[in-house]
Amino acid sequence: MSHPTAQEQILDFVRGRYPQAEIDAAQDIFALGFVNSLFAMELVMHVEKTFGVTIPNEELRIDNFRTATAMAGLVARLSPTVAAA
């Protein structure tokens, strides 16, 4: 069985929180209008815990979190081994 990619795992998390929305990896989740600061915090915590990374302040830019693809890219920069998996 193959492991889900970072992008798939992130997408699962977002979809789990907002099952009524149709979200793909390229979807700008902030443009959907339901992201509040609570969810933003949950998102950051989820990425940090799931991939064992610490996101430095300078990477905490909205562009890094707009889409599952962008978040997976961030994870890849912070932790190359995770990205390769």
Partner 1 sequence: MTLVAPVPVQVVDRRSARAFVDAHVVPYADAYDRIGRVPEDLLRHVAAAGLWAPFLPPESGGAGMDLVTLGEVHEEVGRGCSSLRSLLTVHTMVAWTVQRWGTPEQRARWAPGLAAGTTLGAFCLSEPGAGSDTSAIATTAVEGGGGWVLDGVKKWTTGGQRADLFLVFARTAASIGAFLVPRSAPGVRVTPIEDMLGTRASMLAEISFDGVVLGPDALLGPSSGFTAGMVLTGTLDLGRYSVAAGSVGIVQACLEASAAYAACRRVGGRPLAELPLIQAKLSDMVTDARAARLLLAEAGRLKDAGDAGTIMATWIAKYFASTAAVRHAAEAVQIHGANGCSPDYPVARFYRDAKVMEIIEGSNEIQRITIAGQAERETTR
Among 22, 36, 81, 84, binds partner 1 (CB under 8 A): 36
- Closest approach, Cβ 4 to partner 1, in A, equals 17
Report the 10 Å Cβ neighbour count for 9: 19
Report the 10 Å Cβ neighbour count for 46: 19
Among 2, 3, 16, 81, binds partner 1 (CB under 8 A): 16
- Closest approach, Cβ 63 to partner 1, in A, equals 9
Task: Compute the distance between CA of residue 21 and CA of residue 75 in angstroms, rounded to an integer.
Answer: 24
Residues that bind partner 1 (CB under 8 A): 16-20, 36-38, 40-46, 48-49, 57-58, 60-62, 65
